[in-house]
């Protein structure tokens, strides 16, 4: 990310009033949580600006920590969520994918994919900060959106959420983390079944599989997240942070591993048939229509 796109690093003294084009940032002093919400008006997928804003949030928080800003604003939790009505994220920018493949621009595809991996890896590492990360999911959480959620320490989803990696529908596979992260959560066989089938699952199905950690009734996401973060106070937060770090040590995910897999994804994607590309282009058109509907889309089987 840092080598591919420009981003703004905000000043610690301006926290929590940092402004980004595609992200609403909020600080809750009671839970010590920074909420990074995708704006209702932003694209329902990871546009270049969204990626840049996410990197800006990360680097701004790191600078704030380095300058002892956490002493004034204690940050215990980092919550990734969405202010869209029924979409967490549909994942990658399919217009970028299809135009890059049609134009023989593997370099452009790789640049976008590596930017995504930079962000995924930083989430896997807890932003290299003394925090616990939580993905709070409502609505559709597909493809790269599900991969971003999987990179968090814990996942909370509303019971009506839809989660999955549907790339198999156009003969590809999820290349920005799902292979590594699902395998570590569920084991090789179960991860391969989910990836190979390309099906979209309900939150209850994903909870039973062990792919998510918590589920809450529709409409209660914020209340449930706040309650979970307040539960047990400082002692529970310390335990959760220790557990997250223990997972990283027992089941390490390296940047090299993620990069090698996404390069394989790029090779697979550039070899897609014309029929598969036409299917992806139909999904890309649906993504664009959703952009103009302020995140109210109900049918988005895209990456």
pLDDT (tens, 9 = 90+) of the chain, 303 residues, equals 444 678 899 999 999 999 999 999 999 999 999 999 999 999 999 999 999 999 999 999 999 999 999 999 999 999 999 999 899 999 999 999 999 999 999 999 999 999 999 999 999 999 999 999 999 999 999 999 999 999 999 999 999 999 999 999 999 999 999 999 999 999 999 999 999 999 999 999 999 999 999 999 999 999 999 999 999 999 999 999 999 999 999 999 999 999 999 999 999 999 999 999 999 999 988 888 877 665 444 333 333
pLDDT of amino acid 142: 97
pLDDT of amino acid 297: 40
What CATH topology corresponds to 12-288? 2-enoyl-CoA Hydratase; Chain A, domain 1 (3.90.226)
- Comparing CA positions, the residue from 138, 147, 253, 252 lying closest to residue 203 is 138
pLDDT of amino acid 53: 98
* Entry pTM: 0.93
282 is written with which tokens?
């139909």
Taking residue 157's Cβ as centre, other Cβ atoms within 10 Å add up to 29
CA angle 18, 225, 131 (to 5 degrees): 60
pLDDT of amino acid 4: 61
196 is written with which tokens?
């190979």
Q: Which residues contact 279 (CB under 8 A, 6 or more apart)?
A: 169, 170
């Amino acid at each position: 990310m840092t080598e591919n796109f420009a981003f703004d690093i905000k000043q610690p003294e301006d926290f929590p009033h940092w402004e980004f084009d595609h992200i609403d940032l909020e600080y809750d002093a009671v839970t010590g949580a920074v909420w990074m919400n995708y704006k209702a008006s932003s694209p329902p997928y990871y546009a270049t600006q969204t990626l840049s804003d996410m990197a800006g949030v990360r680097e701004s928080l790191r600078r704030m920590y380095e300058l002892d800003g956490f002493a004034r604003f204690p940050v215990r939790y980092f919550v990734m969520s969405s202010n869209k009505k029924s979409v967490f994220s549909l994942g990658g920018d399919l217009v970028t994918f299809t135009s890059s493949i049609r134009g023989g621009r593997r370099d452009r595809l790789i640049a976008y994919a590596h930017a995504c991996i930079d962000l995924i890896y930083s989430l896997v590492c807890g932003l290299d900060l003394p925090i616990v990360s939580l993905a709070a999911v409502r609505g559709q959480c597909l493809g790269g959106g599900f991969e971003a959620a999987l990179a968090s320490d814990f996942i909370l989803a509303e019971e009506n959420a839809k989660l999955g990696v549907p790339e198999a529908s156009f003969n590809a596979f999820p290349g920005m983390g799902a292979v590594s992260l699902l395998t570590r959560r569920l084991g090789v066989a179960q991860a391969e079944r989910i990836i190979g089938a390309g099906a979209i699952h309900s939150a209850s199905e994903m909870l039973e599989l062990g792919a998510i950690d918590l589920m809450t009734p529709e409409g209660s996401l914020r209340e449930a997240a706040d309650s979970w973060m307040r539960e047990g106070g400082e002692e529970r937060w310390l335990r959760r942070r220790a557990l997250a770090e223990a997972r990283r040590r027992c089941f390490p995910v390296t940047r090299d591993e993620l990069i090698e897999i996404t390069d394989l994804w790029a090779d697979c994607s550039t070899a897609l048939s014309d029929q598969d590309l036409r299917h992806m282009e139909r999904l890309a058109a649906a993504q664009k229509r959703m952009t103009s509907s302020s995140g109210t889309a109900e049918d988005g089987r895209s990456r």
